Copies of this chain bind each other. A is one copy, B any other.
């Protein structure tokens, strides 16, 4: 009857969202009891969710004390994007070697969805299309573990990104950044594809990092990415 979702999963997601958007202040200490009350469920599913969050590093459990929200510091956001660079830049290069018309069509489709979302000013739909596009690009490797891990990494910044959008970049700006990636993939130019993906990730990351540091977005710095870009044989763009 009740096609119900597991409480544990719901709480896992809600908790993650609450932490990422700042509702649960970072550095703060909470108890399982407190959240069980907040979400009106028993302690068991809450505990399960917290343990899983601890596995991903977003909270730390302090025995007999509670769990502490670690949040995402600037350096941790940077770390996430560094890993994404290592995975998604080669992924984009690989995507350029695919010449299945359906694959290309799908990429164009997601791009179209992003434009539609921009027209409707629908951040939710935009995010979904953005997500799908990145997922499809990385899927060129045909490695489910890889794409699934990327999902985990993206979830860290998802809520945060949604908040940031309105402040720093318009949907249109972000949408435009995806164009060169798809263009390069379509033309089969692996190097250009890698470069475009790298630029997009570095741009996004730098703004999130600046924001997490409490800096003006004008102060966005991208020098952190240089070692990674070098190892990926991607030209370093001058600021």
Contact flags A123-163 to B (C-beta < 8 A → 1, else 0): 00000000000000000010111101100000000000000
Interface residues on A, range: 20 to 34
Could you say which of A33-41, A86-94, A168-176, A207-215 contacts chain B? A86-94
Which A residues, 37 to 78, have Cβ-Cβ distances below 8 Å to chain B?
Answer: 44, 47-48, 51-52, 55, 57, 76
Could you say which of A13-21, A114-122, A227-235 contacts chain B? A227-235
Number of this chain's copies in the complex = 2
Which of B44, B48, B87 has a CB less than 8 Å from the CB of A86? Answer: B87
Give chain B residues whose Cβ lies under 8 Å from the Cβ of A93. 231
CA distance in complex: A8, B51 (Å): 10
CA distance in complex: A79, B147 (Å): 11
A10 at the interface (CB under 8 A from B): no
Q: Is the CB of B146 within 8 A of A82?
A: yes
Chain B's nearest CB lies how many Å from the CB of A151? 12
A83 at the interface (CB under 8 A from B): yes
Q: Is the CB of A227 within 8 A of B141?
A: yes
Give chain B residues whose Cβ lies under 8 Å from the Cβ of A228. 90, 141
